[in-house]
């Protein structure tokens, strides 16, 4: 299962989430330039439990390096799919969690989840000489927070069936619950290995715990001041369209969301239209100057009639934050 996006609306630009993705990308490009399997760099900046517990290893690393490694390991990746998978998850789940915490607290939350995920890995493998790298533990914390905050949100997921992508919406508590269960089963069955399963588990648990803790902490007002500059003016580029028919006819009807600014300037949206196994993605061009309630006609995307001719899909414009 590959997550594509969620349907939980966020109201502020996720500046910290995007910054973290950018930092990871810069580091990954640097890794590519020197070689992804550069052992010197991975041992120097990766999380190696033996650095702290095995004397013959510890003597080769300074105190400053041992502290830095607790943070730097979160920004290294072992390959393209490792990097891309982590960044996709951070992109999907990070904006809403950042919305909840506020940008300033979210940054602290992310770093602390990464530290705690590393601590879980350390406790399970205290003398391991194998370096652990990747943002997975910190992102697991983001997923844990999302699990608690938005359990009823829907995750648009691609399930490959042979060579045909099947798009399906899965409730967040199911998607993330299954993800956590798989981490636990892998950790219990495999133990120490190339993937730090316990780091994922530790990060996820930390994410849940910090949501509960955050509710008890006093607000400083910093997030509100930052949000004055990060308020979103648009709507999601990719949307899932729920369709219905009128009087069992061949035409289908649905809604598409745009902002008041997009209504004035026009925009393009990618829409996913669930229809059995024949879900497809389409690009919809919204012309400038549309009004609330305007219908866009997508020819031939309705039901098949008795004579095999196709009806149309009519999308009703829903302007959010209308002015």
Q: What is the DSSP track for 264-306?
A: HH-EEEEEEE--TT--EEEEEEE-TT--TT-EEEETT-S-B-T
- Within 8 A by CB and 6+ apart from 153, the residues are 6, 7, 8, 96, 146, 171, 172
Instruction: Read off the pLDDT of residues 258-267 as tens digits, 9 standing for 90 and up.
Output: 888 889 999 9
Rounded CA-CA distance 167/170 in Å is 10
Q: Mean per-residue pLDDT for 158-166?
A: 76
Rounded CA-CA distance 75/137 in Å is 11
Pick the CATH number of 2-230 from 1.20.1540.10, 2.120.10.30, 3.40.50.170, 3.10.150.10: 1.20.1540.10
Half-sphere exposure of residue 137: CA atoms within 13 angstroms, side-chain side: 31
Instruction: Read off the pLDDT of residues 18-60 as tens digits, 9 standing for 90 and up.
Output: 999 999 999 999 999 998 889 899 999 999 999 999 999 999 9
DSSP single-letter state for residue 132? B
Query: Hey, where are the domains in the chain?
Result: 2-230, 238-320
Six token digits for residue 6 = 């969620």
Q: Is the pLDDT of residue 120 over 80?
A: yes
- Within 8 A by CB and 6+ apart from 220, the residues are none
Cβ proximity of 117 and 195 under 8 Å: no
Instruction: Characterize 96-128 residue by residue with b for buried, 16 or more Cβ atoms within 10 angstroms of its Cβ, and e for exposed.
Output: bbbbbbbbebbbebbbbbbbbbbbbbbebbeeb
The more confident residue out of 206 and 217 is: 206
Q: Is 3 left (phi over 0), alpha (psi -120 to 50) or beta?
A: beta
Map tokens 């009806």 to a residue.
311
Selection from 240, 258, 260 nearest residue 318 by Cα: 258
Q: From residue 248, give the alpha-carbon distance in Å to each of 15, 252, 253, 311.
A: 46, 9, 12, 11
Q: What is the mean pLDDT of the chain?
A: 87
Q: What is the CATH number of domain 238-320?
A: 2.60.260.20
Q: Is the pLDDT of residue 183 over 50?
A: yes
SS3 percent helix, strand, coil of the chain, rounded to 5, is: 50, 20, 30
Q: Mean per-residue pLDDT for 142-168?
A: 86
Instruction: Label residue 323 by pLDDT band (50, 70, 90).
Output: very low
């Amino acid at each position: 299962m590959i997550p594509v996006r969620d349907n939980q609306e966020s109201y502020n630009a996720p500046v910290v989430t995007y910054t973290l993705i950018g930092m990871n990308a810069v580091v990954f490009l640097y890794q590519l330039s020197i070689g992804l399997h550069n052992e010197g760099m991975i041992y120097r900046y990766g999380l190696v439990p033996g650095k702290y517990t095995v004397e013959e290893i510890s003597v080769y690393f300074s105190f400053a390096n041992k502290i830095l490694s607790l943070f730097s390991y979160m920004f290294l990746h072992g390959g393209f799919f490792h990097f891309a998978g982590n960044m996709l998850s951070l992109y999907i789940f990070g904006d809403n969690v950042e919305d909840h915490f506020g940008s300033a607290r979210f940054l602290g939350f992310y770093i602390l989840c990464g530290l705690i995920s590393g601590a879980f890995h350390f406790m399970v493998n205290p003398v391991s000489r194998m370096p652990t790298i990747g943002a997975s533990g910190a992102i697991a914390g983001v997923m844990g927070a999302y699990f608690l905050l938005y359990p009823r949100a829907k995750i648009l997921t691609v399930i490959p069936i042979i060579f045909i992508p099947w798009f399906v919406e899965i409730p967040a508590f199911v998607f993330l619950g299954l993800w956590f269960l798989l981490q636990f089963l892998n950790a219990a069955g495999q133990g120490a290995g190339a993937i730090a399963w316990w780091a994922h588990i530790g990060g996820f648990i930390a994410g849940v715990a910090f949501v509960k803790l955050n509710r008890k902490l006093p607000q400083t007002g910093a997030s509100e001041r930052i949000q004055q500059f990060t308020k979103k003016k648009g709507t999601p580029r990719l949307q899932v369209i729920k369709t219905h028919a009128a009087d069992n006819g061949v035409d289908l009807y649905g809604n598409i969301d745009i902002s008041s600014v997009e209504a004035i300037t026009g925009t393009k949206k990618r829409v996913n239209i669930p229809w059995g196994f024949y879900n497809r993605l389409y690009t919809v061009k919204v012309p400038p100057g549309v009004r609330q309630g305007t219908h866009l006609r997508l020819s031939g995307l309705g039901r098949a009639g008795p004579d095999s001719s196709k009806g149309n899909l009519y999308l009703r414009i829903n302007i959010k934050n209308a002015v």
